[in-house]
Amino acid sequence: MKTALICGYVRLITRFVSLIRDQPYEQAKAITFKERCVKIEPSNPKHFLGPIAEGSVKPQTATGVWFPNLPNPVNPDEKVAIHYPGGAFILAFGVEVIGALVADNLVGKLGADKTLYAQYRLARDEESRFPAAVQDAVTFYSYVLSLGFKPENIIVSGDSAGGNVALALLRYLETNATDLPLPSAVFTWSPWVHVPSDSGPKFDEQPNSHKDMLSGAILQWGADSYRPAGRVDEEVEAMVNPLHHPFKTRVPIFLHAGGNEGFCAAIKEFSQEMAELNGQEGIKYHETPLAPHDIFLTHSAVGMGEQNIAAIELARSFLEAHSKSTEHPTSRDEV
């Protein structure tokens, strides 16, 4: 009952927000987080190639917040998680609250020593559409590497639209000739993997959409804002819309879905496509029965704390098992 009521309430809010198109967002500030708030300049221009090369959308300064504290001095043997948050590419939420929830999961339960909450640019105008979010993802990733952390100790994580960004980052690292090494793993929580131009109607057609907290209206707004204007080539479409565009990787990927969320069928299908291409041992799909969208963050509100812990423990076991059985690839050339 609690889950159903919360989902219905949030679904109404997403419809209302979509009608008024309000995007309240205040960037994290040093006055709140002090030295934990970091401004990161775009990395080497050679890191922005192919589908995310500088064009009308240019790499910009990114802002991140470290949890629980700044890695100073850096211990290269510590495990660090970079988390890209959700919000349908158009919304951002309070870093202090959401960042603490993310850190509780990734540091407190998954086993990372540090978490960088990496808020990429929201899609607000023509200069912040794709590839802005992925450019920022590269900037955050190269920054963590520049601090001295070993790539085999870096975990890339993302929920909802942030899961899409995490997958796009991995695809980019695997398919473009940058000198950036691969991370140890990618964890996605209710990732938005089906982002066609008609995302709203496609979502509303899903059998679980009426049970979920998302609405087709908010997703259509997100897709309209994030997808590149005009005709999209196959390489860009694959990065924006992962479903039916699997890619080869040696990095283990964990994909979580709620059994009652509208994204469930698409996430499951994408995981199967990836497993067919890469093997079952490297792709792990986990579905939590009766769960709505993104219990990684909403577990407390919807009364699914135990289910969230179970999912994270499974993700941790998956990472540990994969780490013991394989050597970490340092670059795409080894794939």
pLDDT tens digits, residue range 315-325? Answer: 999 999 987 76
> Which pLDDT score is estimated for 327?
61
Nearest to 169 by CA among 135, 121, 129: 135
> Which residues pair with residue 288 across a beta bridge?
258
Report the share of the chain in percent with pLDDT over 70: 95
Copy the structure tokens of residue 138: 């590269």
This prediction's pTM: 0.94
Lowest mean pLDDT among 22-26, 38-42, 134-138: 22-26
> Which pLDDT score is estimated for 191?
98
Domains and CATH numbers, the chain: 2-22+32-328 (3.40.50.1820)
d(CA 223, CA 234): 17
Q: What is the mean pLDDT of the chain?
A: 93
Q: Indicate the residue type of 279.
A: G
User: Does the pLDDT of residue 208 top 70, yes or no?
Assistant: yes
> Which residues pair with residue 38 across a beta bridge?
64
User: Does the pLDDT of residue 32 top 60, yes or no?
Assistant: yes
User: Does the pLDDT of residue 326 top 70, yes or no?
Assistant: no
* Burial class (CB within 10 angstroms; exposed 0-12, middle 13-18, buried 19+) of 46: exposed
Nearest to 86 by CA among 117, 109, 53: 117
Which of 44-58, 85-99, 249-263 is modeled with the greatest confidence?
Answer: 249-263
Q: Which are the contacts of 115, defined by CB distance < 8 A and separation ≥ 6?
A: 66, 67, 68, 80, 81, 82, 83, 99, 102, 103, 106, 107
d(CA 166, CA 143): 15
- Between the alpha carbon of residue 146 and those of residues 62, 64, 150, 330, the distances in Å are 15, 15, 10, 15
> Which pLDDT score is estimated for 335?
40
Lowest mean pLDDT among 91-95, 213-217, 239-243: 91-95
Nearest to 211 by CA among 302, 123, 299, 128: 302
**Cis before residue 131, ω within 30 degrees of 0?**
yes
Q: Are 256 and 315 in contact (CB under 8 A)?
A: yes
pLDDT digits (tens, 9 = 90+) for 150-178: 999 999 999 999 999 999 999 999 999 89
d(CA 200, CA 143): 35
Task: Give the SS3 label for residue 124.
Answer: coil
